Structure 1
Amino acid sequence: MTRCVSFTAFRDRCYDHTFYAAGLRPTNTVLGDGATVHFWAPRSPNPARPPLLLIHGFGANAKWQWAGYLRPLLRSGFDLYVPDLLFFGGSEAPGPDRSETYQARCLAAAMEVAGVRRFGVVGVSYGGFVAYRMAAMFPEAVERAVLICAGVCIEERDLAAGLFVVNNPDDAASILLPQRPDKLRQLVRLSFCNPPRIMPSCCFRDYIQVMCTDYVTEKTELINTLIKDRKLSDLPKIMQPTLIIWGEQDKIFPLELGHRLQRHLQENSQLVVIKNAGHAVNLEKSKELCEHIQAFFLSFSPYSHKDQMSYGTRWKVIVRFAGLSMRRLASKLPLLLQKKTWINQANV
């Protein structure tokens, strides 16, 4: 019997066209230990445009989580770099290391190969764990960071204490790496504040077949390594200005972790809570989230060029695009936007 056309595979190809149309090209960077980092990069990088690294979380791949952000962020003047984390999409590694530290080191190395020596970083959920490590390990490269529903302050004991809907890493993996329609349905309901009312099993089976069957063992190890023996006291304090964004109704990483992270970073951070949004705030409230990203990175951009707009003009365009008054935007983001002094690129 001939298999029906896969809607998931078709949509994945459509995302390819979206990235190509946005002026990005796919590239594979092979690192010294044999790891391969696949990422989308500008076809013609412009040194006058601030580079922005977008790191996805657990899910299909980078395209599915960031496709809707390309146009507005490009219009705001960014050069975008959108990688697949190891064991997602086209990225892989032969070694046994499954830590977010190793993920961070590989992404930093790939950015260095691409010739990007300093940049901003945005990380969603697990991607926020990696973004945080990059900021801690390479402070001369990461200028500032946005962490979206990233429970980097989680402790292993939080599972047993009942902070989450699961109480052990195996249960977490069964939800985050769904292999059956009922598990994917559970993930959707946990991730979205307002999940779709109709979720046909046939569509879920198609999605699982196309997007959820590769590197299951390696991804399970990523989850176990992320949680095992994790303590807040071991988490370094990053010094870059950091914007923490959280969905108010997050059931995967409860909002308490956002407050915990803000207390950990203190004056270097600000927490923004988006109402009527869950863990998948990047999908449920993409416009509002994009406005916060734009304002945070561009309000005091250190980049200047004769072909760019002046700071005052650029700021007015940002505010007009976002649909926010200056007073409203300023009240939301009184951020620590002081300029940084850069030192040499770290060896990776």
Structure 2
Amino acid sequence: MTWQFQVGSLAKKYSVYIPDLLFFGGYGGMVAFKIVEEYPEMVRAMVVSGSILAMTDTLSESNLNRIGFKSSADLLLPTSVKGLKTLFALAVHKPMWFPNRLFTDYLKVMITNRNERAELLEGLVISNKDVTIPRFQKKIHVLWGESDQIFNLEMAKNMKEQLGENATMDIIKKAGHLAHLERPCVYNRRLKKFLTSVYSEN
């Protein structure tokens, strides 16, 4: 739902496919990394925003402690308007006002399959000892909101280093986790600039 500004803009020139995370809808970060890892012949390059390579148990615990939550489900699957407002406030650089009715409707429509989603979130967390960083041969561009509170800038920079010499990074000021929604024009310009550079090489 939050990527409409990008889908609409990109569809004018590109064929757009939206990878799906079961029960979460078009939620592509970790799914996209898996596609690049397992089907490299299908991918020319990748742009990643607000998603990390893998959620390890240590990283999960420290990150949740930092923002004051006991589990990913508590953060991402709120059960009240107050909880949803807290999540939204964490996701943006500058909180925006919406009526409670909108938050109530969002909870009813979007936060479904709660048990299945909670199990999936728990399953995404892997042990530190099981983590291996794939040797990606593709260009990967990290496009990040400077004020991201969910996966902060330090995490993004660490990931960029882990990705190696083919990775580049671009930071969007006055934007949080939802940089693509908060500053869609800036985000789309940076995104298209990278895509143009990729296609100009061929």
**TM-score computed with the length of structure 1 as normaliser:** 0.53
Q: How far apart, in 2, do the equivalents of 1:232 and 1:271 lie?
A: 27
Q: Secondary structure at the match of 2:189?
A: helix
Q: 1:84 to 1:265 in 2, by over 3 A?
A: closer
Conserved 8 A contact 2:81-2:103: yes
Conserved 8 A contact 1:190-1:251: yes
Please list, as runs of the form range in 1=range in 2, the aligned pairs for 1:175-194 lying within 5 A after superposition: 175-194=75-94
Q: What letter is aligned with 2:99? A: P
Identity %: 30
Q: How far apart, in 1, do the equivalents of 2:104 and 2:177 lie?
A: 22
In the alignment, structure 1 residue 203 sits paired with structure 2 residue 102: yes
Q: Displacement of 1:139 after TM fit?
A: 0.7
Partner of 1:82: 18
Conserved 8 A contact 1:193-1:277: yes
Q: Kindly name which structure, 1 or 2, has the bigger radius of gyration based on alpha carbons.
A: 1
Q: How far apart, in 2, do the equivalents of 1:274 and 1:79 lie?
A: 25
Partner of 2:139: 241
Q: Secondary structure at the match of 1:267?
A: coil
Partner of 1:280: 178
Moved over 3 A (4+): 159-164, 230-233
Deviations 1:240-271 (CA, angstroms, capped at 9, x unpaired): 00000111111111111111111112210001
Higher helix share: 2
Q: How far apart, in 1, do the equivalents of 2:116 and 2:6 lie?
A: 28
Partner of 1:165: 67
Q: What letter is aligned with 1:217? A: N
Deviations 1:37-79 (CA, angstroms, capped at 9, x unpaired): xxxxxxxxxxxxxxxxxxxxxxxxxxx122222342233x211
Point out where structure 2 has 5 or more consecutive residues left out of the alignment. Answer: none
Conserved 8 A contact 1:154-1:257: no
Q: How many positions carry a matched residue from both structures?
A: 201
Q: Displacement of 1:298 after TM fit?
A: 2.3
Q: 1:138 to 1:83 in 2, by over 3 A?
A: closer
**TM-score computed with the length of structure 2 as normaliser:** 0.88
Q: 1:134 to 1:242 in 2, by over 3 A?
A: same
Conserved 8 A contact 1:160-1:167: no
Q: How far apart, in 1, do the equivalents of 2:129 and 2:154 lie?
A: 16
Please list, as runs of the form range in 1=range in 2, the aligned pairs for 1:115-126 lying within 5 A after superposition: none
Partner of 2:41: 140
Q: What letter is aligned with 2:56? A: E
Conserved 8 A contact 1:132-1:238: no
Q: Secondary structure at the match of 1:234?
A: coil
In the alignment, structure 1 residue 217 sits paired with structure 2 residue 107: no
Conserved 8 A contact 2:55-2:126: no
Q: How far apart, in 1, do the equivalents of 2:134 and 2:163 lie?
A: 9
Q: Which has the higher contact order (CA 8 A, sep 6+)?
A: 2
Conserved 8 A contact 1:128-1:147: yes
Q: How far apart, in 2, do the equivalents of 1:238 and 1:156 lie?
A: 23
Q: How far apart, in 2, do the equivalents of 1:140 and 1:278 lie?
A: 32
